[in-house]
């Protein structure tokens, strides 16, 4: 979108497998039917073990043989390895938390780099015409009496912050949202607090539609059971664990941004 930056399609065309993908649109899968089966399995919410059971069925093998369909994977693990070849978004990392009170299982926070997540939103080709970096003030009439607020970029706060940064620098309004949810049956049906990231720069009508992927999953904070005699403080310990997770993920990039400002 701006000189020096790269959009998703630029990364796609410069990928190490770009030549193979020009020869085969569905690479690393053999053909469209192969990709269709892989896509269905990955979106079916089946566990890894259930996918293995499905692929080992004689009926599946017979259908593949009769239709002479080459299949690129024969297990859930091979399926995941094929998907990992494709160009991905921000990479997942993990960190062991060390709470002062013992837990029934080791708490692990899974997270992505904050700056990588911001870059993935900014490079999304769909948002090119639905993103703004210019704060604005909208008035109901030419006499400038009634100020109309539509989103954060039309408010006074964004306008004031833009006045404080240098010419050529752009303002990003970060949105963080969270809730406790069931992750997936593929991960043992575990619970976590997901932290979602979005930008106020994205048009609110686009951002509010989940199907358009205006939010990126940034953190999966663990939900664990504490071993403590006083059960009434378990919720307090859980809240502290969430804050510990967020501090670990959010503080380093915030410190980096502060250094850049200096």
The gap between the terminal CA atoms of the chain, to the nearest Å, is 27
Length, in residues, of the chain: 262
Does pLDDT of 231 surpass 80?
no
Domain shared by 124 and 138, yes or no = no
Burial of 149 (0-12, 13-18, 19+ CB in 10 A): exposed
**Burial zone of 3 (CB within 10 Å; 0-12 exposed, 13-18 middle, 19+ buried):** exposed
Give Cβ neighbours of residue 144 (< 8 Å, ≥ 6 apart): none
Question: Do 246 and 165 belong to one domain?
Answer: no
**pLDDT at residue 192 is higher than 50:** yes
List the structure tokens of 52: 């293995």
Element (H, E) at 198: strand 191-199
Residue 250: is its pLDDT beyond 80? Answer: yes
161-182 pLDDT, tens digit per residue, is 888 888 877 888 888 888 766 5
Q: What is the pTM of this model?
A: 0.72
pLDDT band at 79; cut points 50, 70, 90: very high
Question: Does 3 map to a domain?
Answer: no
Confidence of residue 46 (pLDDT cuts 50, 70, 90): confident
Last residue of a domain, one of 24, 57, 85: 85
The number of beta carbons lying within 10 Å of the beta carbon of residue 202 is 25
143 and 178 co-located in one domain: no
| pLDDT at position 102 | 77
206/126 same-domain check: yes
Residue with tokens 């833009």: 162
Residue 132 pLDDT > 90: no
| Token representation of residue 234 | 């378990």
54, part of any domain: yes
Whether pLDDT at 13 is above 80: no
* CA 72 vs CA 17, 32, 260: distances in Å: 16, 11, 47
- Is 6 part of any domain? no
Average pLDDT over residues 48-54: 90
2, part of any domain: no
Domain that holds residue 205: 92-131+172-261
**Pairwise pLDDT comparison (103 vs 183), residue with the higher score:** 103
Q: What is the mean pLDDT of residues 33-51?
A: 89
**98: its two tokens:** 């060390």
Please indicate, yes or no, whether residues 224 and 163 belong to a single structural domain of this protein: no
* Domain shared by 146 and 74, yes or no: no
| Whether pLDDT at 1 is above 60 | no
Specify the number of domains making up the chain: 3
Q: Is residue 176 part of a domain?
A: yes
Strands 108-112 and 216-222: antiparallel
162 and 185 part of one domain: no
Return the DSSP state at 24: -
Contact 169, 205 (CB under 8 A): no
93 CB-contact burial (10 Å; exposed 0-12 / middle 13-18 / buried 19+): exposed
* Interval 194-210: pLDDT, tens: 899 999 889 888 888 87
Indicate if 235 and 126 belong to the same structural domain: yes
Band of the pLDDT at 184, cuts 50, 70, 90?
low
Confidence of residue 89 (pLDDT cuts 50, 70, 90): confident
Mean pLDDT value of segment 138-150: 84
**Average pLDDT, whole number, for the chain?**
81
Residues 26 and 126 in one domain: no
């Amino acid at each position: 979108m701006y000189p020096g930056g790269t959009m998703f399609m630029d990364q796609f065309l410069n990928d190490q497998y770009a030549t193979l993908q020009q020869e085969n649109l569905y690479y690393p899968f053999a053909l469209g039917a192969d990709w269709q089966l892989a896509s269905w399995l990955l979106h079916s919410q089946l566990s890894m073990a259930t996918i293995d059971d499905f692929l080992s069925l004689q009926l599946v093998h017979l259908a593949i043989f009769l239709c002479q369909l080459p299949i690129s994977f024969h297990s859930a693990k091979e399926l995941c390895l094929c998907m990992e070849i494709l160009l991905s978004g921000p990479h997942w990392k993990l960190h062991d938390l060390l709470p002062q009170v013992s837990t029934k299982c080791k708490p692990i926070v899974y997270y992505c780099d904050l700056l990588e997540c911001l870059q993935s939103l900014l490079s999304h080709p769909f948002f090119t015409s639905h993103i703004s970096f210019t704060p604005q003030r909208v008035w109901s009439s030419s006499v400038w009496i009634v100020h109309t607020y539509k989103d954060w970029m039309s408010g006074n706060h964004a306008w004031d912050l833009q006045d404080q940064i240098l010419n050529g620098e752009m303002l990003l309004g970060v949105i963080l949202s969270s809730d406790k949810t069931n992750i997936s049956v593929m991960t043992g049906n575990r619970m976590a607090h997901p932290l979602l990231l979005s930008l106020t720069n994205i048009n609110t009508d686009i951002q509010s539609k989940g199907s358009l992927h205006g939010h990126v999953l940034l953190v999966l904070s663990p939900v664990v059971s504490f071993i403590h005699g006083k059960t009434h403080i378990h919720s307090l310990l859980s809240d502290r664990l969430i804050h510990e997770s967020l501090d670990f993920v959010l503080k380093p990039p915030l410190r980096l941004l502060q250094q850049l400002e200096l």
